[in-house]
A = this chain, B = another copy of it.
Amino acid sequence: MRVRLEDVARAAGVSPKTVSRVLNDEANVRGPTREKVLAAMAAMDYRPHPSARSLAANRSFLVATVYDNPSSNYLTEIQTGVLDACDEHHYSMMVRPLHVESADFVERIDTLISHHRPDGLLLTPPITDHPQLLARLHELDVPYASVSPMNRSGSIGAFIDEPKAAREVVGHLLGLGHRRIAHVTGHPSHGATGWRLTGYREALSAAGIPFDPALVVEGDFSFSAGVAAARQLFSLSDRPTAVFAANDDMAAGVIWAAGEHGLSVPRDVSVVGFDDTPISRQIWPTLTTIRQPSREMGRIAALELLAALRGKGEGRMVQLPYALQVRESTAPVG
């Protein structure tokens, strides 16, 4: 038969409530008493029953990670980080793919909450910035943490300085002598899209290069959007010598389209991406990009959520470092 809390109490010669106190790190247990209980737990290999705990305490010890189909590489990284944090604190995690665009989006999260009763949610872009959802979560008083939300004030989670990172990667191109630098933007619903465009414009401006709208093409973070944007850019009479794509998938698309147009990367055109997903090392030439610590961002965001759940500290919005990864897709302007 399973070892129950009552058995531990008997073995340690204390009441069940005292064992419960030790289990939940509550105050009002003297050192020696705590030791005794801990020893008994270890000796008997005691594992609290999650459902019994949840039922009595009215908490699920469950965090739900909610996403709308970003790249699976990004998602897996975030997920792994969140799991790391949950493991550290004996929480469990569930995942929930959703479509922000669908009419019943908020309703589905409602259902998720009433069905599984997670203690908190972990949101990833673009779900981080869905006004109705956030309003509903406040209404239901369900805590949440966000990874890279557009609006950082009033929420907890993790982020990097995206405009600065974008300035840096464009600065790398400027340093190589490029002056006609194009930009392929991301999907408008993502905060990253605006930040990366801002960084691009700021970098050009700082270098005294006038902004040319013809060099900015709208994309959506997909490989095929990169291909389409590049076809347009490479058809310009005054072709750009470098392209900053708002993520790696689109950068891969740009490189693909360069091949199609008989252009060699980086000899004829330099290309940079953003995110440092595996694809940046799986294409030829390998991609110069910004490394974003996705796994750590998931972990930190989850840790802040858990801190908020336990009332220890209010939960913070933490800035994490990025790093420019110079690889083979960039070279001095020809």
Interface residues of A (CB under 8 A from B): 47, 49-52, 54-55, 60, 72-73, 75-77, 79-80, 83, 90, 92-97, 114-117, 223, 249, 252-253, 255-256, 259-260, 278-279, 281-284
- Cross-interface CB contact of A60 among B51, B97, B115, B279, cutoff 8 Å: B51
Cβ–Cβ contact A50 & B283, under 8 A: no
Q: Is A97's CB under 8 angstroms from B72's CB?
A: no
Instruction: Choose one: B47, B117, B253; the contact of A50 (CB below 8 Å).
Output: B117
Complex interface: chain B residues within 8 A of A95 (CB): 79, 83, 93, 95
Label chain A's interface by main secondary structure.
Answer: helix
B contact residues around A283 at 8 Å (CB): 252, 256, 282-283
Contact of A51 among B51, B76, B77 (CB under 8 A): B51
Q: Give me 22 A-to-B residue pairs in the complex whose CB atoms sit less than 8 angstroms apart, sorted by A's number.
A: A47-B115, A49-B117, A51-B52, A51-B60, A55-B55, A72-B73, A72-B77, A72-B278, A73-B73, A79-B95, A80-B97, A83-B95, A93-B94, A95-B95, A223-B282, A249-B282, A252-B282, A256-B284, A260-B284, A279-B282, A282-B283, A283-B283
Copies per assembly:
2
Alpha-carbon gap, A252 to B75, bound state (A):
22
A77 to B71, CA, bound (A): 12
Q: Which residue of B lies closest to A58 (CB)?
A: B51
- Kindly list chain B residues whose C-beta atoms are within 8 Å of the C-beta of A92: 94, 116
- A79: B residues at CB distance < 8 A: 95
Task: Give A97 to B51 CA distance when docked, in angstroms.
Answer: 23
Extra 20 A-B pairs, beta carbons < 8 Å, given A51-B52, A51-B55, A51-B60 = A47-B114, A47-B115, A50-B54, A50-B60, A50-B116, A51-B51, A72-B72, A72-B73, A72-B76, A79-B95, A83-B97, A92-B94, A223-B281, A223-B282, A249-B282, A252-B282, A252-B283, A256-B282, A260-B284, A279-B282
